[in-house]
Amino acid sequence: MKSCVFVLLMVVCSFELKAASVLVGNPFTPYPPGCATLPDLQAALYGDNRAKVFDGRVSLHTASLPREARDVNLAVYRVACAESNRSIIWLEFSIPEGVDPSTVYETPYIYAQLAQDPNYGFSAFLMREPNTWGIGIESFTQTFGNPGGINNHETRWTFVLDTRTTWLSSQYNASLKLNLYGAGNPVIIDVPATEDVLSAAPGIPLNGRLSGNWVMEGIPDQGLLISVSEQVDDQRGSEAPEPLDFRLLMFLSWYTYNADGDLLWLTGAAEFALGATEVTVPIELVTHGQFFGSKTADREVVGSVTITGNNCNDLGFEYDLADIGLGSGTQNLQRLFSLETAGYVCRDLEARILENGK
């Protein structure tokens, strides 16, 4: 049985991809929301744990008047998550060489069917950010591209396939047929089951969905509060950072005991790059504070810890506190009662249902 540690919960959340205009995510996604990061980083993180299941051209309508049919390149991937038999389906559209970069395309309608039961299917959604309600592409009435082609010179757009329904992960990860309706004849894309093409990814990107209380199995009356948040930089002004340059911040408070059994409060903070699965945090010893006072407590760097994202409920924890006589070693952190920050779940719906039903 896991031991409890009661601490003041500082709820600090962040999105894996970028700041979004929604405050609460969609809890019914059939993939672990904490699995996803920027597609460009997904390839670097997971390497062979991406399976390209389609690479070709499809015809879409342009948003101009009169509407025209234009070919675009389409690549479809299953990308492995750290949890076994879990993946995310990415669709990557790109314009062929020589096409006017200011072209705006109407989005296709996608209907997904279970390969083993074609009568069972769902209308799929192309979401710009995983696990959101209101950001994404839902019908022919929405578009993507470069209006005017002046300030935006993108030639590639990547979306996650979502359902907005209570489809379970076992169905999303089964063999699927994606029926894509654009400007021409429907295109049928066979997507093999996750277990047939992918193994579990070696880790999970560190992200705000890992924020919360964490404990170590068999070690009572102590634990950590960890938050992962977006960096706010007043010096940045109105110019937003490029996505791949985006920085996150991990803060932790470690409530434990010294060699004499007295209470010990350790804290630390460190920046890391979006998509990283590991961060090393300098650890400070906090002493000589004042109850409800204005005095700033004393702080001294006494070691370091390295946090590694293994999966939604498991973090690697390597510590070095030799300077204060507590040695060094490794542990695994587990969520306190599998608690996930409300509104920002890390695992998919089916995983939470099964665990709660044990």
- Which whole number is the average pLDDT over 271-275? 88
Same-domain check for residues 56 and 131? yes
Residue 203 inside a domain? The answer is no
The answer on 282 and 167 residing in a single domain is no
- Residue 184 sits in the same domain as residue 47: yes
CA distances from 82 to 182, 198, 315, 319, 358 (A): 33, 11, 12, 23, 21
CATH number at 331 reads 2.40.128
| 202 in a structural domain | no
pLDDT, mean over the chain = 83
Position with higher pLDDT, 317 vs 43: 317
CATH number of the domain residue 167 falls in: 2.60.40
Q: For residues 22 and 134, is the Cβ–Cβ distance under 8 A? A: yes
The stretch 260-281 carries a mean pLDDT of: 93
User: Pick from 156, 178, 197: which residue ends a domain?
Assistant: 197
**Residue 351 belongs to a domain:** yes
Q: Is 15 within a domain?
A: no
Q: Is the pLDDT of residue 83 over 70?
A: yes
- Do 227 and 347 share a structural domain? yes
Same domain, 255 and 186: no
Least confident segment among 84-93, 143-152, 177-186, 301-310: 143-152
With cut-offs at 50, 70 and 90, classify the pLDDT of residue 10.
very low
Which two tokens mark 180? 């894509």
Q: What total of structural domains would you count in the chain?
A: 2
- In this predicted model, what pLDDT tens digit does every residue of 25-74 receive, in sequence order? 777 889 998 887 666 666 666 666 889 999 999 999 998 888 899 999 99
Q: What is the pLDDT of residue 87?
A: 94
Region 71-83: what's the mean pLDDT?
93
* pLDDT above 60 (res 255): yes
- Position 146 scores a pLDDT of 79
Same domain flag for 186 and 238: no
Q: Domain boundary at 197, 217, 235, which?
A: 197
pLDDT at 8: 26
Q: Is residue 99 located within the same domain as residue 232?
A: no
Assess if residue 176 is contained within a domain. yes
- Ranges assigned E (strand) in 166-277: 176-181, 187-191, 212-216, 223-230, 247-257, 263-273
Q: Is residue 20 part of a domain?
A: no
pLDDT at 3: 38
pLDDT tens for 166-216 read: 788 999 999 999 999 999 889 999 999 999 999 998 889 898 899 999 999
Residue 240 has pLDDT above 60, yes or no: no
pLDDT of residue 102: 84
Residue 94 falls inside a structural domain? yes
pLDDT over threshold 60, residue 265: yes
- 44 and 176 share one domain: yes
CA distance 203 to 80: 10
**237 lies in the same domain as 282:** yes
Q: Does 244 lie in the same domain as 327?
A: yes
Look at 28-42, 108-122, 185-199, 292-306 and tell me which has the smallest mean pLDDT: 28-42
Confidence of residue 318 (pLDDT cuts 50, 70, 90): very high
Evaluate the CA torsion angle 201, 202, 207, 213 in order and state its sign: positive
* Res 11: pLDDT: 25
Range of the domain at 237: 208-356
For residues 120-134, give the mean pLDDT.
Answer: 80
Q: With bands split at pLDDT 50, 70 and 90, how would you rate the model's confidence at 244?
A: low
pLDDT at 5 over 50: no
- The two tokens of residue 222 are 């102590």
Cα separation, 175 vs 113, whole angstroms: 9
ω into residue 66 within 30 of 0, thus cis?
yes
- Do 46 and 184 lie in one domain? The reply is yes
Is the model more confident about 253 or about 273?
Answer: 253
Confidence of residue 4 (pLDDT cuts 50, 70, 90): very low
Of 269, 39, 335, nearest in space to 160 by CA: 39
Q: What is the pLDDT of residue 234?
A: 53
> Is the residue at 11 inside a domain?
no
Model-level pTM? 0.81
Strand partners, 283: 303
